[in-house]
Amino acid sequence: MSRQSDGVRAVRRGKVWLVGSGPGDPELLTVRAHRIITSARVVAYDELVSTEILALAPAGAERIAVGRRASGCRHHEARIHPLVVQRALEGEDVVRIKGGDPLVFGRGGEEADELAVARIPFAIVPGISAALGAAASTGIPLTHRDCASSVTLATAHAARNGGEPDLIGSVPARGTIVFYMGLGRIAATCRALVEAGRAPATPAAVVSHATRPGERLVTGTLADIAARAEAAELEAPALLVVGEVVARRVESPCAPGREAADEERAEVG
């Protein structure tokens, strides 16, 4: 606590760390993120944070389950979980662990806004976004000199009143597109892309649980990827990758000792 000029003691406000934990593999954490998580006293997390990463927090740290995921937010009326703000106002430093990168469909901007209004100090620690993790893990280049000079990150949850994703005015006609949070909307997304001018034969892929032991990859085209993904019974979180880069996917020969680690990964294509 600090002493004000009128003699009243003011409570120190804690700092909130908005930490990107990457797509799930703890080895993909940044050095800074690892240091902050392993020294945390209060940890707030959601379902997108892997159990392996959450286990890095000290055993005695307070754990706050935020409960946010693409399917809904149990605290949708607030931009940030009320307990995060409360603990910070009580003087505790809070580590808010977020999947991927906090500022890429991670609501980091909204949460930072609310912290600023409450005059709570905060810092944003970047993480590897799910799109980058999925691309590296599956060998799909997001850009390629021969076929893609741009990559667009989009959310399949942006929909028109009729339920179709509003893609015509929001994504370019060429280049790679990666859709987040779209496992239940693949058919509508692909249909809207075709209506916007993309060829039905455009390569597409769905990556489920990217970088994690249960990672699965389904490949196809805009014409059939929805049916292929449904038949494979993929689970969220998953990304939809659209573009010629999917056809440029390159598999690396398995390095010695990696076969066992890769056994749980499956491909349907």
Among 154, 155, 201, 202, smallest CA distance to 174 is for 202
Q: Is 206 helix (H, G, I), strand (E, B) or coil?
A: strand
Among 85, 87, 6, 21, smallest CA distance to 56 is for 21
Q: Are 81 and 75 in contact (CB under 8 A)?
A: yes
Domain segments of the chain as ranges: 12-128, 131-253+261-268
Say what the pLDDT of residue 79 is.
72
pLDDT in tens, 92-132: 999 999 999 999 999 999 999 999 999 999 999 999 999 99
Both tokens of residue 13?
Answer: 């406000």
Q: What is the mean pLDDT of residues 251-264?
A: 58
Predicted confidence (pLDDT) at residue 140 exceeds the cutoff of 80: yes
- Element (DSSP H or E) covering residue 242: strand 238-242
Say what the pLDDT of residue 80 is.
86
Q: Indicate the pLDDT class of residue 156, thresholds 50, 70 and 90.
A: confident
Angle at 69 between CA 68 and CA 71, to 5 degrees: 120
Query: What is the residue-wise DSSP string for 63-81?
Result: EEE--EETTEETTTTSSS-
pLDDT in tens, 174-225: 999 999 988 999 999 999 999 999 999 999 999 999 999 999 999 999 999 9
pLDDT in tens, 19-69: 999 999 999 999 999 999 999 999 999 988 999 999 999 999 999 998 754
Both tokens of residue 139?
Answer: 């060998």
Say what the pLDDT of residue 172 is.
87
Class of domain 131-253+261-268: alpha beta
Both tokens of residue 246?
Answer: 């999917």
Which of the residue ranges 105-109, 153-157, 226-230 would you say has the lowest mean pLDDT?
A: 153-157
DSSP label at residue 228: H
Say what the pLDDT of residue 43 is.
98
What's domain 12-128's superfamily in CATH?
Answer: Tetrapyrrole methylase, N-terminal domain (3.40.1010.10)
Q: Is 198 helix (H, G, I), strand (E, B) or coil?
A: coil
Say what the pLDDT of residue 11 is.
67
Say what the pLDDT of residue 173 is.
86
Instruction: Please tell me which residue, 73 or 90, carries the higher pLDDT value.
Output: 90
Predicted confidence (pLDDT) at residue 136 exceeds the cutoff of 90: yes
Say what the pLDDT of residue 265 is.
52
Q: Is 13 helix (H, G, I), strand (E, B) or coil?
A: coil
Which of the residue ranges 13-22, 35-44, 79-88, 249-258 would you say has the lowest mean pLDDT?
A: 249-258
Which of the residue ranges 168-177, 187-196, 247-256 would you say has the lowest mean pLDDT?
A: 247-256
Q: What is the mean pLDDT of residues 1-11?
A: 51
Say what the pLDDT of residue 257 is.
46
Say what the pLDDT of residue 117 is.
95
Sorted by sequence, the CB contacts under 8 Å of residue 76 that are 6+ apart come out as none
Q: Indicate the pLDDT class of residue 73, thresholds 50, 70 and 90.
A: very low
Cα(205)–Cα(246) distance, integer angstroms: 7
